[in-house]
Amino acid sequence: MDTKFQIHRLSNGIRIIHKQIKSTKLAHCGVAINVGSRDETLAQQGIAHFWEHMAFKGTNKRKTYHILNSIDSVGGELNAYTSKEKIHFYSSTLVQHFEKSVDVLSDLTFNSNFPVKEIEKERSVILEEMALYRDDPADSIGDEFDELIFPNHPLGRNILGTIESVNSFKQQDFFDFIAQNVDTHQVVISSISNLPFDKVLSIVEKYFGGIKEAKNDRSRKIFTGYKPTLVEKFKPITQSHVMLGAESYELHHKKRMPFFLLTNLLGGPAMNSRLNLGIREKYGYVYDISAGSSAYLDSGQFSIYFATEDKKLNKCLKLVHKELASLRDKKLGIQQLRSAKQQIMGQIAMSGESNLSIMLGMGKGLLDKEKFESLEEIFQQIQAITSEDLVEVANEMFAEDRLTTLIYHPESKK
């Protein structure tokens, strides 16, 4: 572990991880909570995301305006996000306003009072957000694809919830969900600034030390039973949208890093990815084509996405399967492997230039792995990957008979 990261646990179980960077004038601070949409019951679908919204809508000592204005008025940013397994509240300010950030983050995380009038207003906002996603096939296909990969399981549900569930939430539902799921031993405060650790710890203790300890024996439903499928639908769209992929390795799997490298080689953000070169650059069949993966506590998912004219759809699918077969059948040469490693290490290093991204990763890493891996540790894992590792992973993950495919056709092609 990078010795520049310092960790302390408060008496109530909340942990703080801090990195001091003396050259920065900014302070980034976040509260990562090990609760996400997968922790919801069927009736609670979308409540984690709704809670994230409502946290800004009033606490026992601040109204909405005071929460938003407290950070914005000093030129800072206050934000949050919800994922399948986490809720994260965070802020960025000039370092002299760090204490204000900690105060506000503590308040909105643990003292939200969910005003009834604000619930009604925010309900409308979230329903509009849901409509926006439904109207965009590039977004909606991803949500529906999750359902195909994780059928009848919380990982397959939309983070936003359903129209019915969002319309059903009352004030008490938020208090109940928090009581059922929040464990202070599964809360991490992450921080990056030029402040020394003892100063950060003193401020954090002041605002988080008085939070009542909460322990929770919640257990997450483990996913099993993935089965590949093919689903085709007709939509009021002009192009065909396609997503194909499968269940993949869980967060702690020993093959996750080789798979990360392989997916990046196949369809990562670089213009020289195999899918981009083999389909966009060579034939001009698509504007954008990409591959990505997500890893969870007990499972994972990978997918390839593209949109094209319906008459070019079958040609694109054949080319995608050709690239997957190539990775299954042919080992990378020495130079190809070296280049793939250099590329992904460079991408990771550039993302590491953002202190905000690092701060968010620190909280997530401590919750997921009980540590935050340094660049050096990650690079060592990448350098240890062999061509044989990649072929083995490709044959496990990219086998044609285990792929799920979801296609949206234009209605005009019926």
pLDDT in tens, 52-65: 999 999 999 999 99
Evaluate whether residue 192 is within a structural domain.
yes
**Residues 110 and 192 both lie in one domain:** yes
- Asked whether the predicted pLDDT for residue 161 surpasses 90, the reply is yes
pLDDT band at 414 (very low <50, low <70, confident <90, very high): low
Phi and psi at 133, nearest 5°, equal: -65, -40
Q: Is 114 helix (H, G, I), strand (E, B) or coil?
A: coil
Whether residue 221 lies inside any domain: the answer is no
Mean pLDDT for 132-158 is: 95
203 & 244 share domain: no
Do residue 196 and residue 265 come from a single domain?
no
Q: Is residue 172 part of a domain?
A: yes
Tell me phi and psi for residue 193, to 5 degrees: -170, -175
Q: Which two tokens stand for residue 375?
A: 């660049």
Q: What is the pLDDT of residue 4?
A: 80
Q: Could you tell me if 44 and 125 lie in one domain?
A: yes
The answer on pLDDT for 88 being more than 60 is yes
Q: What is the pLDDT of residue 9?
A: 97
User: Residue 406: is its pLDDT beyond 90?
Assistant: yes
Q: Is residue 258 part of a domain?
A: yes
Per-residue pLDDT averaged across 169-192, rounded?
Answer: 97
- State how many domains the chain has: 2
Contact predicate 237/408, CB 8 Å = yes
Structural domain contains residue 220? no
Residue 250 lies in a domain: yes
Q: Largest Cα–Cα distance of the chain, in whole Å?
A: 66
Q: Are residues 234 and 205 in the same domain?
A: no
pLDDT (0 to 100) of residue 296: 96
Residue 142 within any structural domain of the chain = yes
305-328 confidence digits (pLDDT tens): 999 999 999 999 999 999 999 999
Average pLDDT over residues 90-109: 97
Q: What is the mean pLDDT of residues 231-246?
A: 96
User: What is the average per-residue pLDDT within 247-254?
Assistant: 96
Residues 195 and 256 in one domain: no
Domain that holds residue 338: 230-410
Asked if 29 and 100 count as a contact pair (C-beta separation under 8 A), the reply is: no
β-sheet bridge partners, residue 27 = 93
pLDDT at 2: 45
Helix (H) / strand (E) containing 49: helix 47-54
Indicate whether 116 and 234 sit together in one domain. no
pLDDT-derived band at 352, boundaries 50, 70, 90? confident
Q: Is the pLDDT of residue 1 over 50?
A: no
**Residues 278 and 174 occupy one common structural domain:** no
The pLDDT value recorded for residue 318 is: 97
